[in-house]
Structure 1
Amino acid sequence: MDELEGHMFKEEMRRFPMMAQGGNALMQLLVDDMMQEHARHGVDTAAMTARLNALVVPQAQQATPAAVKVGWQAFLVELAKHVAAEDDALFLMFQPVSPA
């Protein structure tokens, strides 16, 4: 959670405002950093999914972990949309132009 909040803070306070202004010489480094963070989020969320799937609770208490799993799946869907929007659309606008 701390990593995700740090990532979002950097996006909202530094990277997105810089992108809105057209970027600068550091933009490719910032984009590379964001993509590396996205990759780490994928590793971290897979680990959390494994932990949730391994969770064993008494039958009488199944409702709570089931609700957590539903919420977790919804979060993963939203995170995937966020990453795809940035990696597959937004970041492409700041890729260096190759000479023809």
Structure 2
Amino acid sequence: MSHAEQSLGLLARTIPGATRVFHAHHLDFCCGGKQTLQTAADKAGLNATQIAAQLDALQDGADELVDWTEADTPDLVAHILARYHARHREQLPELIRLARRVEHVHGDRPECPLGLADHLETMQQELESHMQKEETVLFPMYLRGMGHPSLPPVQMMRMEHDHHGEELAKLEALTNGITLPRGACNTWRALYLGLQTLREDLMAHIHLENNVLFERG
């Protein structure tokens, strides 16, 4: 079944980042989540095929099977920048928006993750600061062949990675292990799908830096 024939709600629940696409096109995947993408696009005067192609691109962004331990440093750095730094900058604003919506609409439910949006904003600020330091200081050192595991900037980035891990643990505590409650709406489902993807991406990101890039020198 093509994406155009699937419901907005199903697409939002199963494709990380789909809610960002729907939001950009002003498509209601929550209350109007039972509509197919084709029907919703037709009503809004939009091209369902083009929107479906954007969803395809999200899925095609999955990692290729590459052994990054054997990759040249410039290729590894380029991969980290494109696959993780750019992805986090896309993920977090949308997750914050979804979390604010869930807290606003469902704040009276005991299982609502109150404080999640604020926590995600903190994570966004900390990650942005961290990534900028890597992009302006650390990665250029490795690209010039001057990187080494014992360098103070490397040790600092490892410490910040440990802190990111602690922030992920807080995120899981706020969301009961990113476990959906019964009767969760499409927005809530999309939020938790996105959180699971963020967790997986951030862990893979830290692994590539700590255990592959930072060990070079």
TM-score by length of 1: 0.78
2:174 alignment counterpart: 51
> Is the CA contact (8 Å cut-off) linking 2:161 and 2:206 kept in structure 1?
yes
Gaps of 5+ in 1: 95-100
Shift of 1:17: 0.5
Q: Offset at 1:57? A: 8.0
> SS at 1:22's partner residue?
coil
Task: Look up the equivalent residue of 1:14 and give its one-letter code.
Answer: V
Deviates more, 1:50-59 or 1:10-19: 50-59
- Contact in 1 for aligned 2:180/2:189 (Cα 8 Å): no
Per-residue displacement from partner, 1:34-72 (whole Å, max 9, x unpaired)? Answer: 11011000000110121122899894x532222111001
Bigger proportion of residues as helix: 1
2:158 maps to amino acid: M
Relative to structure 1, the CA distance from residue 67 to residue 21 in structure 2 (aligned partners, 3 Å threshold; closer, same or farther) is: same
Q: Which has more radius of gyration?
A: 2
* Aligned with residue 159 of structure 2, among 36, 55, 60: 36
Measured after TM superposition, the shift of residue 14 of structure 1 is 1.2
In the other structure, the counterpart of 1:77 is 200
The count of residues paired between Structure 1 and Structure 2 equals 92
Unaligned runs of 5+ in 2: 1-123
What's the TM-score once normalised by structure 2's chain length?
0.38
Q: Is the alpha carbon distance of 1:65 and 1:6 closer, same or farther for their aligned partners in structure 2, counting shifts above 3 Å?
A: same
**Distance between the aligned counterparts of 2:180 and 2:188, measured in 1?**
9
Distance 2:133 2:194 in 1: 25
Counterpart amino acid of residue 161 in structure 2: H
SS of corresponding position for 2:145:
coil
Structure 1 position 21, deviation (Å): 1.1
**Percentage identity across paired residues of the two chains:** 33
Whole-angstrom distance in 2 between the partners of 1:91 and 1:56: 36
Cα distance, 1:23 vs structure 2: 2.0
Instruction: Determine which of 63, 68, 75 is the counterpart of 2:191.
Output: 68
* Partner Cα separation in structure 2 for residue 2 and residue 58 of structure 1: 32
What is the rounded CA distance, in whole Å, between the counterparts of 1:66 and 1:56 in structure 2?
7
> What is residue 5 of structure 1 aligned with on the other side?
128
What amino acid does structure 2 have at the position aligned with 1:46?
Answer: A
Alignment match, 2:139: 16
- Relative to structure 1, the CA distance from residue 66 to residue 82 in structure 2 (aligned partners, 3 Å threshold; closer, same or farther) is same
